[in-house]
Structure 1
Amino acid sequence: MENDLLSISRLFFCGMDVYMLYRFFSAMFVKKIEKKKYVIINIAITAIIFFENSVGSIALNFFTMPLLYYAYVRTLFSISKSNSMAYTIIYFAFAGSRELSFELLYRFLLRVLPVYISPWYESGGIYLLLIQYSASFLLLLFIEKYIKKLEIGVHNAFSWYLLIVPILSLMVSVSFLHIEFPESLITQIAMCGGSFSLFFTNVVIFIILARYTDAMNKIKYAELYNVKRHMEEEHLQNILKLNEDYQRYMHDIHTYFNSFRMLAASGENNKIVEIIDELKGEIQEKTSGVIYSGHPVLNAILSERVLTAKEKGIQLSIFVEKFLKVDFISDADMISMFGNLLDNALEAAGRCSPENRKVNIKIFKGNNYFLIFYIENSYAVAVMRKGERFLSTKANSKGHGLGIGIVVNLAEKYGGTLNLEEKEDFFITTLAISTCARE
């Protein structure tokens, strides 16, 4: 029969290769391009694979397919170079082991069946390919079921460990092809069965290792989360101490004023001037703070960030609605929510040029049932996303981004939501929490 490598059916199988590659990666990673571009890229990569397959060179496919797959994955998904390389090799090992297993099956059927079976590159070989791709797709659905909910992450230090079994399996399968097919029927069955068993075992081990990797990542995240919470508890104690000092200073000032009143009534004006001169520096230091809120912890949080803004040369404006009640929020949760969001805003604004460092803060009641914590801040570094989630833009992102996770969890605790949005030159953070949460 004639070579069938340029037929429509072969184009269909090339499209299936690309589709299964997409399904494998989309189960673990987030797509980063819009649908229109995605369709164009899929058509282009399918056409490239189709024309490359038409050459009929197995060696060419073996060396170029991983590169094509890698370029495809890097273009479509939010994934690091190391992860894209590791998982591309894993997928290619799966696809290669599958094809090698079915090649052994073809040789076995050619020996035992009385009829001629066309090889894969002839038109008659399409039926064996249909079986092969149908089995592959069902196996992909099986893999997808177990890896779809995994949080692999853009960066994953464990991904390279997953390569061990797929690569070894591919090497064993390749060695089978270079061994002369045995005459013994039992040995032939054992060889084919062993190849398929190795392939399926490979898949199962990958799923187990992937789930283990996910568990290790979650444990690592939980440890970092606990460390951050512990640091915030220490931060709470510092703020409470700052607030105690503030209240003590204010009490002392009232004591001074009472003394001045008594001295003034006695006509001791010179004594008043003397005391003021002596305590001038201390009084100025103790009365330099601004009271933003009647709640001591919230006031301390804002006062502390005012000092940070001054150090970084950030134009900071703060509006707190008069008589605002925030007693329904625990002190620790208030520091975690408001402190994390303010720190993120000040850090982002601090990266801007000096004339463009701006942060605007508003805390008010949206209605009788919701408290709104609203921040606008300038930013210079483009914000990265993973789906609806914003990622850290720091060079070393490990451990960063936990603050937003903490705020989201606490917002849910208080029956609220956290919304993050980019709007022109400002990044807008809106935290809405229910005032009835405690009830």
Structure 2
Amino acid sequence: MPQINEKTWIIIAVVIALIGSLIYNIISAKKLKKKRQQFTRSIQSSYTHMKTIEDTNKKIYEISNEINELIREQKDTKGYIEKKKKEIEQIRQMIVTNDTILDCTISDKRDLATEKQIAFTYNIPTGLPEIQMEDVDKIRLFANLLDNAIEAAESVPAQDINGKNKRYIHISILNRGSNFFVTIENSKRTEISVTENQFHTTKLDAENHGRGVRIIRQIVAKYDGTVEFTDKGDTFEVAVML
């Protein structure tokens, strides 16, 4: 077997290094493309949310002008007021804080929950400061938290024997100094349980559910936060501190 001289070894090493560099660049390019796509989606979502706020402010202005006109003309306003109550209630349900990305993400998941007959309530101060996270991480964190809650709540029968809604999700976000405390509680089947912060479920989608939990843990750890999962039998609670 012929021996390979030093020059040949150098050439082989350079070729291997070039191949490794090429592979690394390809992987990096794919990751960058994915991040750009996620950022573009977040920008589009932010624009949609801001447009909604603009349209809402315009609607409030129009309602105010109509009420003033009715008062000036001394017309019967009872029927009009009843009609506008529903519109005003819809406006009140908008989630508007100082964090547009958060508003968009929660609003989207709230609409999805409503479509699935899940009562969605929240306690989020209007003046809540912006959570200091990368936009992509913020979207992934809250999307996974709420997707898990929606999945669990949807597994519960829509109503009990008395016709009362059994599906619900409640999210609370508070801040103390530089820390944010996020709590999400939702209804669930008793078969879905948690021990030592790990999910145990008979659902076929358990793998995806577990993947969502891993993403939550990774993002929370990235920002030196904590996350705790609590099984309460027919309800489930996630508490995150950032």
TM range (shorter): 0.5 to 0.7
Q: Secondary structure at the match of 2:133?
A: coil
Q: How do residues 33-432 of structure 1 correspond to structure 2 at under 5 angstroms?
A: 233=39, 236-253=42-59, 256=62, 260=65, 264=69, 284=87, 288=91, 290-294=93-97, 295-321=99-125, 323-355=127-159, 356-365=166-175, 367-380=176-189, 382-383=191-192, 388-390=197-199, 393-432=202-241
Residues in 2 aligned to 1:377 and 1:296: alpha-carbon distance in whole angstroms: 24
Residues in 1 aligned to 2:202 and 2:56: alpha-carbon distance in whole angstroms: 42
Shift of 1:409: 1.4
Q: Deviations over 1:380-419 (max 9, x none)?
A: 1633669653366531545543222222111112210111
Structure (1/2) with the larger helix percentage: 1
Structure with bigger RCO (C-alpha 8 Å, 6+ apart): 2
CA change 1:380–1:399 in 2 (3 A) is closer
Residues in 1 aligned to 2:226 and 2:55: alpha-carbon distance in whole angstroms: 38
Residues in 2 aligned to 1:230 and 1:427: alpha-carbon distance in whole angstroms: 34
Shift of 1:345: 0.5
Q: Is the 8 A contact 1:314 1:358 kept in 2?
A: yes
Larger of the two Rg values belongs to structure: 1
CA change 1:393–1:298 in 2 (3 A) is farther
Residues in 2 aligned to 1:343 and 1:392: alpha-carbon distance in whole angstroms: 16
Shift of 1:306: 2.4
Q: Is the 8 A contact 1:232 1:335 kept in 2?
A: no
1:119 maps to: none
CA change 1:289–1:238 in 2 (3 A) is farther
Q: Deviations over 1:68-108 (max 9, x none)?
A: xxxxxxxxxxxxxxxxxxxxxxxxxxxxxxxxxxxxxxxxx
Q: Secondary structure at the match of 2:120?
A: strand
Residues in 1 aligned to 2:106 and 2:116: alpha-carbon distance in whole angstroms: 15
Residues in 1 aligned to 2:42 and 2:190: alpha-carbon distance in whole angstroms: 30
Residues in 2 aligned to 1:231 and 1:400: alpha-carbon distance in whole angstroms: 24
Structure 1, gaps ≥5 residues long: 1-224, 434-439
Structure (1/2) with the larger strand percentage: 2
AA matched with 1:236:
S
Q: Is the 8 A contact 2:194 2:231 kept in 1?
A: no
